[in-house]
């Protein structure tokens, strides 16, 4: 492997690690505060919103949101890392990248799921939603994963 290819691999790995860290922060950080009337205020993170769905016995919505917001991004990061660094033969790693193209079609669903999470919060007749940094951090993680996927896909095309 030449120096240029090694440098690219290291940079993509760093981007994947950063995406994982930002993703972890994004799911635990507050994404919104719901203010009802003057005296009631609830702040939610992705994790607390998903927990609330489970507590409210909204099992279908819980499975949908937990699957697409937590499980799918983690699986995608693991597959990206394996495609880039795996000790498997080139053909196997290319299959990983092909599999990622299937997952890629669902990548913006992460953002949609956060919107569903916001909409699923039971709003009172008078409510105000205040967005917090966690929503932006989560969106940044999704974008970093998309860029990583694209870079790995380009890298696999260049290999013989």
Please count the CA atoms within 13 angstroms of the CA of 92 that sit on its side-chain side. Answer: 7
From 73, 32, 72, select the one nearest 52 (Cα to Cα): 32
User: Has residue 103 got a pLDDT over 80?
Assistant: no
Structure tokens at 48: 């607390």
Longest dimension (CA), the chain: 64
Q: What span, in angstroms and rounded, lies between the C-alpha atoms of 111 and 115?
A: 7
Per-domain residue ranges of the chain? 3-158
Length of the chain: 160
Q: Residue written as tokens 């607390």?
A: 48
pLDDT reported for residue 94: 80
Q: What span, in angstroms and rounded, lies between the C-alpha atoms of 23 and 25?
A: 5
**pLDDT tens, position by position, 120-136:** 555 555 667 788 999 88
Mean pLDDT along residues 78-98 = 83
Q: Residue written as tokens 């860029």?
A: 147
Domain 3-158 has CATH 3.30.70: no
pLDDT reported for residue 1: 66
User: Has residue 20 got a pLDDT over 80?
Assistant: yes
């Amino acid at each position: 492997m030449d120096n240029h290819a090694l440098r690219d691999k290291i940079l993509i790995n760093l981007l994947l690690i950063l995406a994982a860290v930002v993703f972890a922060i994004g799911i635990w950080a507050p994404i919104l505060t719901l203010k009802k009337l003057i005296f009631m205020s609830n702040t939610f993170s992705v994790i607390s919103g998903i927990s609330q769905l489970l507590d409210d016995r909204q099992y279908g919505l819980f499975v949908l949101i937990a699957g697409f917001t937590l499980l799918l991004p983690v699986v995608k990061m693991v597959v990206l890392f394996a495609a880039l660094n795996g000790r498997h033969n080139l053909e196997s790693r290319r299959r990983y990248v092909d599999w990622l193209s299937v997952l890629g079609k669902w990548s913006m669903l992460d953002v949609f799921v956060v919107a569903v999470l916001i909409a699923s919060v039971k709003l009172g007749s008078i409510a105000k939603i205040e967005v917090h940094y966690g929503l932006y951090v989560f969106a940044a993680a999704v974008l970093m994963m998309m860029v990583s996927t694209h870079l790995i896909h380009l890298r696999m095309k260049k290999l013989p």
